[in-house]
Chain A
Amino acid sequence: MDKGLLAYLLIPLLSAVIIPFAARNRPRLADILANVTLLAGLVNLGWLVLRPSVVRGDFADIPGDGFALLLVGAIYLVALCVTFFSAWFMEEGQPNRAAYYSLILASVSAMTGVVTTTDFFTLYVFIEVLAVTSFALITTDDSRGGIEGALKYFFLTFPASALIIAGISILLIVLGDLQFETLRIFMASDVPPGPAVFAAALIMLGFLIKAGVVPFHAWTPDAYQGAYAPVSAHLAGIVTKISGVYAIVKLGTLLRFFDGRASALSEMVMFLGLLSIAVGALAALRQKDFKRMLAFSSISQVGYIVLAAGLGTPLAVIGAVFHLFNHATFKTVLFLNSASVEKSAGTTDMEKLGGLEHSMPWTSWTSVIALLSTAGVPPLSGFWSKLLIILALWEAGLRGYAGLALLFSIVTLAYFMIMQRKVFFGRKSQAAESAPEVSAPLLAPAVLMSAVIVALGLLFPYFYTYVKMVAERIIL
């Protein structure tokens, strides 16, 4: 456990426990407490990272490998956006307001635990906590879609938990203990890695299921679509990343895929990644509902990360890490905006929406920025991360994979163009006529995230050095 980041785990937990007591008489206090906690954490993190020495490129002060720090930053940022949005989005009479915020803080705590742990079993425990909080969060507004989504999520991911435990137990037999370092050292040595790789493959499979990679992806559209609106953003923005994709990337680096010792597993992971890219992109083409389309797009983008993680070369890891972070930002914006649209226009059916740009300009433009970044349009951040991934593939000699990844990037662009035109531009539909722009506080998180997207894109060189350091440290 990374002692330096322990505080980031404990403080949200503390707040989560306090909130129900504090908010018994004054419900609004729950909102304030949640937001303040997360904001404090983020500010502290910013102070830690944005010192002049770090900006200059001197990374000695960054604890551990910078990956954990980067992800903690992402977690806090997304969670802050979600809580801020929820504070204004939730109806007055919502009965479980306090519980909602407690759950979010608990999930933040769990996620921080996931990214800072150095042990497989602890990882498993925190993942389970995260899953439990997610089930409850999805059903916050008691809608039928929410319950269905939560149940599907649960039922389709419990095999994942079973597989992870099976893998952990075999790993324990082979290695003797469950530290990450042990696995890394074992893989770097000359001992034939067969059994350990098999165990790791089982664990990997569990996490692939949790990440929503094809063919285990079927729960994602229903879960995202049916969940309570800000929760979709929380889920898609950070929870599936941390609960699934993070572990895949980490495991990929531990298994030293680039060394070629676990080549069969590496190829399988890459294949599944490419399959996700393809199926996600193709399915998104024909969707009629905004949220569902975003869900399939998520599957596709997660595919990119998994593809790069499966490749395992340093450049690919850089690409995967960066794309992970970027995707968190895009999806947060998009889902929060879809919540705004739903609140304002009453529907997320793309056939019924149209010309929203006139009545909801801020929402439209932040969505457009996020969509363009997802599609990989320069100079936004998504372009750089996709470029790194494709370059890594090409450099490793996998021309076919690189070509297909590029091709599906174009398909992504295509369906986003269709979607933008349908929903935001074009003639005003009836729904759009009566859709006023949502209030400023609801827009603030989306605007903040869009600014982050643009800034990351434009200031990529600075960010690149940081990500490169992360990649070096976690590989070596």
Chain B
Amino acid sequence: MTYHNLLFTLAVLFALWAVMAKKLLTSAIMLALVSVTVSLIFFNLGAPWAGVFELSVCAGLITVLFIGAVSLIRSTEEKHPESRAPFYALPLAAAIFAIAGWFYLPAFFDELASWRRLADGSGTIGAALWDLRRPDLLGQVLMLAAGVFVIKSVFPRRTEK
């Protein structure tokens, strides 16, 4: 149980640090760490496949892309560093939200759990999502294609210039 809570707290901490960091490189690395923590949470919840995908895509591929992009603008970034002052209030806001949530949210989640009994009980969420969803493949293919086209659309300008 505590391992579970620790993972959640770490995820929140890394996310806050990513927003408040002065340098973009720090933010990118913090995002990667958030993804790692979330994938560990998935493993903990018994969804190994989700964990694997999260680790490889988010913590791996995307972090590589981010770091690549950040390195490209490092020169301009050093000339004009952005001020992160407004975001120093963020931890305070998060703390307030956490305390408020500690009071109110358990009741909400209990009710949420109670609704579960309304369902037929037709298997776990995992079964519903992953086993019965052939058509989703089409969606995934489309998503990949769209991603490729987006890159083709946005990037060629760089080489021309």
Contact surface of A with B, Cβ cutoff 8 Å: 1, 9, 13, 16-17, 20, 95-96, 98-100, 102-103, 106-107, 109-110, 113, 117, 119, 121-122, 125-126, 128-129, 132-133, 135-137, 139-140, 142, 170, 172-178, 191, 195
Contact = CB atoms under 8 A, between A and B. Distances in A.
Q: What DSSP secondary structure best describes chain A's contact surface?
A: helix
A173 B115 contact: yes
Judged by DSSP, the binding face of B is helix
B106 interface: no
A162 to B, nearest CB: 14
Contact of A129 (B128, B139, B154): B139
B119 A176 contact: yes
B78 interface: no
Contacts of B143: 125, 128-129, 132
11 contacts: A13-B142, A20-B152, A95-B156, A103-B153, A106-B142, A125-B140, A136-B153, A142-B157, A173-B115, A178-B128, A195-B118
A409 to B, nearest CB: 38
A125 B116 contact: no
B83 to A, nearest CB: 19
Contacts, number: 111
A278 B38 CA distance: 44
B153 A100 contact: yes
A129 B154 CA distance: 16
Interface residues of B, number: 33
A71 B146 CA distance: 22
Contacts of B112: 170, 173, 195
B138 interface: yes
B135 interface: yes
A133 B146 contact: yes
Contacts of A195: 112, 115, 118
A219 B53 CA distance: 32
B146 A119 contact: no
Contacts of A122: 133, 135-136, 139
Contacts of B115: 170, 173-174, 195
A99 B142 contact: no
Interface in B112-158: 112, 115-116, 118-123, 125, 128-129, 132-133, 135-136, 138-143, 145-147, 149-150, 152-154, 156-157
A232 B160 CA distance: 25
Contacts of B116: 173-174
B129 A102 contact: no
A430 B123 CA distance: 70
Given A133-B150, A135-B150, A172-B128, A99 B119 contact: no
